[in-house]
Amino acid sequence: MSGVRLIIQFTADSPDIADKAIASAVERCKRAQKEPGCLQFEVFRSALQPERYVLLERWESKEALAVHAQGMATNPQPPAQGIKRVREDYEYSEAAPR
């Protein structure tokens, strides 16, 4: 099985800004998890640095991610003030167990 994983790291200027962004991300995650081809769409927060959190996305194919991205283009999230973001994309292939 192959697919695409996105890791999006966020660093907010303060834990309060992160609180608000994470609350918004939770609702976005619930919607995205219902999309065809979405295998994972979750937000996780650092216990040691509460201003840092990460969004993990896993899609069964580049095509499924493209459909998701197209929907996001027509309904973009407002820019987040006080938050820096770094995105990493990976294609992967799961090997059969030996």
What are the pLDDT digits (tens) for 17-53? Answer: 999 999 989 988 999 999 999 999 999 999 999 999 9
Q: Which residue has the higher pLDDT, 7 or 71?
A: 7
**Of residues 10, 6, 47, 5, the one with CA closest to residue 25:** 10
Residue span of the structural domain in which 49 resides: 2-93
| Percent share of the chain, pLDDT over 70 | 87
Copy the structure tokens of residue 34: 């219902």
CB 80 within 8 A of CB 98: no
Q: Which residue has the higher pLDDT, 66 or 73?
A: 66
- 54's CB contacts (< 8 A; 6+ apart) are 7, 8, 9, 10, 43, 44
User: pTM of the predicted model, to two decimals?
Assistant: 0.82
Domain count within the chain: 1
| Percent share of the chain, pLDDT over 90 | 66
CATH number, domain of 64, equals 3.30.70.100
Looking at the domain assignment, is residue 79 inside a domain? yes
- From residue 8, alpha-carbon distances to 1, 56, 85, 95 in Å are 23, 7, 7, 25
